[in-house]
Structure 1
Amino acid sequence: MIARNSAFTYKGQAVDVRTVSRELGVRYVVEGSVRRAGTRVRVVAQLIDALTGEHIWAEKYDRVVEDIFDLQDEVARAVVVAMAPQIEVPEASRARRVRPDNLSAYALAQRGWAVASASDMAYDHSPRDEAFRWATQALALDAGCALALRTIALVQWWHAYHNTTESMPETITQGLVAATRALALDHGDHHARRWRAQLLFMAGQPDDGLAELRKAHQINPNCALTLSWLGCYEATTGDESKGVPYALDALRLSPRDPSRAAFLAVLGFAHFATGDYAAAVEAAQTALREAPGSPIPHVVGAISWVGVGEIAMAQVEFQRLVQIAPRLAEARLAGRWLSARPRYLQRAHTFLRIAAGMEDPHAADALR
C-alpha cells in the first residue's frame, strides 16, 4: 500500500498506469472520480492491473451526503471489501503460471491457497489434494509458513464437509492442528480462525466453534466470507434471528465475490432454519445458476422443496445430489448436519429422507 502523498503526485495528470507501477513499485492501482450534485454524490472506482493495464473490476456508488466523514468511511469500506476478492483471482492465476522450482515457501503456499479457495464448494477432491501437496512442500521449506498451515486447515475442512476422507477423526484433527498453529504464528489471522471454528463444529464442539467464528468476524468485520458462514451457524446453532440478516449482509458487502454461490447456499440454509422454505428454494436455485456443478445448493433445494410440499421437485434435487456427491449425500442421510439445534436437525434429516424416498412425505407435516 503506497502512501497517499506519493499517489497524489499524479492527481490531475493523464498518466499511464504502467508508469505508476514502475515509479511506485505497485502491481495494482485503484483510480476513480467523485461527482457531486446537491446532496447526492457519485463515486466511481476501478481496479487496474498496473503491469498489463487490464481492468479487473469497476463499481459506482451513489450516496446522499449527510456527514462527509461518514460518507468517506462508508465508500472506503465498500471499495476495500469489493476489491479484495477481485485481487485474489488474478493473483491465483499468476501464481499457478510460475514454475514450481522457482517458488519460495510463501509462493508455494499461495499457490495451494489459491487452488483450494477456487474450488471451495466443489465435491471433486483432486484440487484439494493438489492444494495439500503445495502446502506440504511449503512447510518443508519453512515450518513457520502460516499461509501453508491455513491452507491445510481449509483443505481438511472441505474434505470433512464433503465426506471425501477415509478417516474423519484424522482429517478433523489434522485441520485443527494446522489452524491452531497458524493462529499461534498470527493471532489476527481471521481466515485461520474461521476454518478452525468450522472444524470445531465438525468435531462436535459447536459452542467453541461459534465463539471462535464470532471472534473471526470481530477481527475482520469486512470479510464477507466470514460473515456469511457466521450467518449459517447463527441460523443453525446460535441466534437464529441473526442468520438471514448476516447472510444478506455478506451478499451486500461483496456482491461480485467469487464465493457468491456459497453465500447464496448459506442464505438458503438460514431461510430453512427460520421456516421460510420458499425463500430457501429461491436462494438454492440462484446458487445453482452461479455454480451449477456444486452439490451444496442441491442439499438446500432438496430439503426446502419438501418444506414447501413439492416432493417431486425435492426428489429431483436429491437424485442430482447423489449423482454429483454421493458421499456427501451419504453423510447427510446418516444424520451428520452442521447444527446443534434439535429441531433443525430433525427437520433437515427427515426432509432429506423424504426427498430420498426413504420416508413417508406425511412425516413432514408435523415439522413444517
Structure 2
Amino acid sequence: MVWTQRFEREAGDLLDLQDEVAAAVVARIDPDILLIEAGRAQVRAGAATGASAYELLLRAIPAIHRLDQAGFLAAGDWLRQATALEPDYAPALAWHAYWHVFLLGQGWAAGQEQEAMAAAERLASRAIALDPLDAQALTILGHVHAFVHHRVEEAAALHRRALALNPNLAMAWVFLGMAESYLGEHAAALRRLDRYRALAPCHPHAFFFDAARAVPLLLLGRHAEAAAVCRAAIALQPGFSFPQKVLLAALGHLGDREAAAAVRARLLAIEPGFTLEQALQRTPLRLAGDRALYRQGLRLGGLG
C-alpha cells in the first residue's frame, strides 16, 4: 500500500473528479514510491558493495529529508559518488544541487558559501542540459536562481516552464509561489501554495513546502497566521532553520518576547552565530518594504 485517499463530490462532477483524482495520483505517487525505494536501498546498504549511482541517490534522499547534520553531510558524499560514477545522470545532478541549497540555507557551508553557490548552479544547469524536459530539475534550477543568486524573475520563468511540462509537480507550485512572494506578489503566491496543498497535502517535503506559506502571510501582515504555519512546519522537522527565522520575525511583530527568545535559542543552536545582517544578505525579497518588515520583525524578536 502506497497511498489512500477518499474523494467526495456531487454526482454531476464526475469528469472534474476524474481530473482531480488523476492529478492527486501523479502528485503523490512519484515521491512516495521514491521514498519506498530509498528505504529498500538503506536496508541493502549494509551488505551491498559497488553501489550504483541510482542506489547512492536513493540512500541520499532520506538523509536530506531528515536534516540531521552528520547524515546530511553523508548524503552529500553519496551524491558526489553518484555523479562521479555517472556524470550524465541528470536526477543525481539535480538532487545534488538541491542538497547544496539546504547546505546554504542551514548555514552548514562552513565558510565555503561561494563554492556551494557555484556548485548548486553548475549541477542544476548540467542536469537541465542533459534532460531539458525534466520538470523537477527545471524547478530546482529555478530555486537555485532565486534563493542562492537572487535572480528571481529567471526563477519564476523556470518554474512556469516546469509546470508546463508537469502541471502536477508539487515542488514547482511551491517554488513558483516562493518566487512570486520574493517579487512582492503575495496574494498570487498564496494561490500557488493552495494548489500544492490541494495536490499533495502529505508530501514528503511538507516540512519545507508547508513553511513556504508563512512568507507571504508574514509580509501581508498576517503575523499570527504566519506563526501558526511555522509552528506546524517545525513540528514536522525541528532541525529546519527556515521556519524558525520566519517564526521569529512573526513573533517579533506580535510582541511575544518570551516565545521569541525560545525560538531564537533554537535557531542559534542550528546556526550558531546567525545574525540579522546574514538574514538580510540571504533573503531574496525584492521590495524594500518587504525587506524592512522582515528586518523589523527579526530585530524585535531579538536577533542582533
Counterparts of 1:92-103 in structure 2, within 5 Å, are 92-99=38-45, 100-103=48-51
Alignment correspondent of 1:262: 208
Partner of 2:103: 159
In 1, distance between residues paired with 2:28 and 2:285?
A: 30
Contact 2:136 2:169 in 1 (8 A): no
Aligned to 2:116: 171
Aligned residues with identical type, % of pairs: 26
SS in 2 for 1:60: coil
In 1, the alpha carbon distance for the partners of 2:106 and 2:204 equals 20
Q: Is 1:219 the equivalent of 2:165?
A: yes
Q: Does the aligned pair in 2 maintain the 1:235–1:243 contact within 8 Å?
A: yes
Q: In the alignment, is the contact (CA less than 8 A) between 1:157 and 1:195 conserved in 2?
A: no
What is the identity, as a one-letter code, of the residue corresponding to 1:64? E
Kindly tell me: are residues 109 and 60 of structure 1, through their superposed partners in 2, closer, same or farther at Cα, counting changes over 3 Å? same
* Amino acid of the structure 1 residue aligned with 2:38: A
C-alpha distance in 2, partners of 1:197/1:318? 30
Matched, 1:127 2:79: no
The answer to whether the Cα contact below 8 Å between 2:275 and 2:303 also exists between their aligned partners in 1 is no
CA contact (8 A) 1:197 1:208 kept: yes
Write out aligned runs for 1:212-291 (5 A). 212-237=158-183, 239-291=185-237
CA RMSD in angstroms, aligned pairs only: 2.2
Please state if 1:106 is matched with 2:54. yes
Cα displacement (A) at 1:66: 2.2
Quickly say closer, same or farther: Cα 1:302–1:89, change in 2 above 3 A: same
Structure 1 counterpart of 2:89: 145
Is the 8 Å Cα contact of residues 277 and 304 (structure 1) preserved in structure 2?
yes
What residue in structure 2 maps to residue 40 of structure 1?
none
Secondary structure of 2:5 counterpart: strand
- The answer for unaligned runs of 5 or more in structure 1 is 1-47, 49-55, 359-368
Q: State yes or no: 1:182 paired with 2:130.
A: no
Deviation at 1:297, TM superposition (A): 2.1
Deviations 1:234-273 (A, max 9, x none): 1122522211222222122112212222222111112012
Establish whether residue 319 from structure 1 lines up as the match of residue 265 from structure 2. Answer: yes
Residues 273 and 214 (structure 1), Cα distance of their counterparts in 2 relative to 1, 3 Å cut: farther
How far apart, in 2, do the equivalents of 1:334 and 1:238 lie? 16
CA contact (8 A) 2:63 2:71 kept: yes
Gaps of 5+ in 2: none
SS at match of 2:6: strand
- TM (norm. structure 1) is 0.75
Instruction: Give yes or no for contact 2:28–2:203 (8 Å, CA) kept in 1.
Output: yes
Q: For the residues of structure 2 that align with 1:138 and 1:290, how far apart are their CA atoms?
A: 29
- AA in 1 matched with 2:72: R
Mean CA deviation greater in 285-294 or 273-282: 285-294
Contact 1:153 1:192 in 2 (8 A): no
How many residues get paired? 300
1:351 alignment partner, one of 279, 297, 300: 297
The whole-number CA distance in structure 1 between the counterparts of 2:36 and 2:214 is 29
Change in 2 beyond 3 A, CA 1:310/1:243: same
Q: Over residues 47-79 of structure 1, what are the superposed CA-to-partner deviations in whole Å (9 max), with x where a residue is unaligned?
A: x2xxxxxxx322111111325333322222223
Q: Does 1:195 align with 2:145?
A: no
Q: Following the alignment from structure 1 to structure 2, what is the Cα–Cα distance between the partners of residues 69 and 357?
A: 52
Choose which of 76, 80, 94 in structure 1 pairs with 2:22. 76
Amino acid at match of 2:118: T
**1:264-315 alpha-carbon deviations (Å, 9 max, x no partner):** 2111112012111111111112222222333322212110112223233223
Residues 329 and 65 of structure 1, relative CA distance in 2, 3 Å threshold: farther
Q: Deviations over 1:69-116 (max 9, x none)?
A: 333222222233233332222111111222442422222233334432
C-alpha distance in structure 1 between counterparts of 2:193 and 2:179, whole Å: 10
Aligned partners of 1:236 and 1:338 also within 8 Å? yes
Report if the CA contact (8 A) 2:106-2:241 is conserved.
Answer: no
Amino acid at match of 1:186: D
The 2-side partners of 1:199 and 1:243 are apart by 18
- Go from structure 1 to structure 2 and tell me whether the alpha carbon gap of 1:289 and 1:135 turns closer, same or farther (over 3 Å shift): closer
> What TM-score, normalized by structure 2, do the two folds share?
0.89
Bigger proportion of residues as strand:
1
Q: Distance in 1 between matches of 2:277 and 2:91?
A: 30
The answer on whether the counterparts of 1:321 and 1:329 sit within 8 Å (CA) in structure 2 is no
1:17 corresponds to: none
Instruction: Please give the alpha-carbon distance, in whole angstroms, between the structure 2 residues aligned to 1:280 and 1:74.
Output: 28
User: In the alignment, which residue of structure 2 is the partner of 1:16?
Assistant: none
Return the structure number with greater relative CO, CA threshold 8 A, min gap 6.
Answer: 2
Kindly provide the amino acid, as one letter, of the partner of residue 176 in structure 1.
E
Distance 1:83 1:304, change over 3 A: same
- 2:217 match: secondary structure: helix
